[in-house]
Amino acid sequence: MTYEEVRAFAFSLALVADGTSYGYACLKANGKFLTRLKEDGDSLVLTGVPFDEREMLIEAAPEVFYFTDHYRNYPMVLARLSAVEPGTVKRILERQWRASVPKKVSKAHDQQG
C-alpha cells in the first residue's frame, strides 16, 4: 500500500482534508487528526487504536505493526505501508473517521453504500 492509496481512500470519506500536524503533512477528518506518514516514508500513524488492540496487532504481525516510545502512552499504532494489508488500514481509518465526524455524516456515508 502507498500513502497515495491511503490518501485516495481517505478522500472517499466526507469531510476529509489535507492538513498539517507538528509541521508534517497529514489528513484530517472534520478538522481532527486522522493520519500522517512518518518521516521514514513507509510508516503510517494510525490513531484510535486501543492499547489491547495495538498489542494484538503487534503480536500477530510485528513486521507490520509497532510503536515508538513517543506513542507508548497514546492509543496509536504505526504500520509499515510496504507490508500492511490495505483492508486493515482502511478499517482503522474509517473507524477513526466515524469518531471524528458528525453522526449524520457517517449515516449518509452508510446509506450511499
Main-chain phi, psi angles of 85, to 5 degrees: -75, 125
CATH of domain 3-105: 3.90.1150.30
Q: Whole-number mean pLDDT of the chain?
A: 95
User: How many other C-beta atoms are found inside a 10 Å radius of the C-beta of residue 57?
Assistant: 21
Could you tell me whether strands 16-21 and 32-37 are parallel, antiparallel, or unpaired per DSSP bridges? unpaired
Q: Given the C-alpha cell 513486521, which residue does it identify?
A: 63
Beta bridge partner(s), residue 29: 16, 32
Taking only the tens place, the pLDDT of each residue in 21-50 is 888 889 999 999 999 999 999 999 999 999
The H or E element containing residue 1 is: none
**Model pTM?**
0.92
76 closest CA partner among 49, 102, 96: 49
Q: Domain boundaries in the chain?
A: 3-105
Taking only the tens place, the pLDDT of each residue in 64-85 is 999 999 999 999 999 999 999 9
Rounded to 10 deg, the angle between the 3-10 and 86-100 helix axes is 40
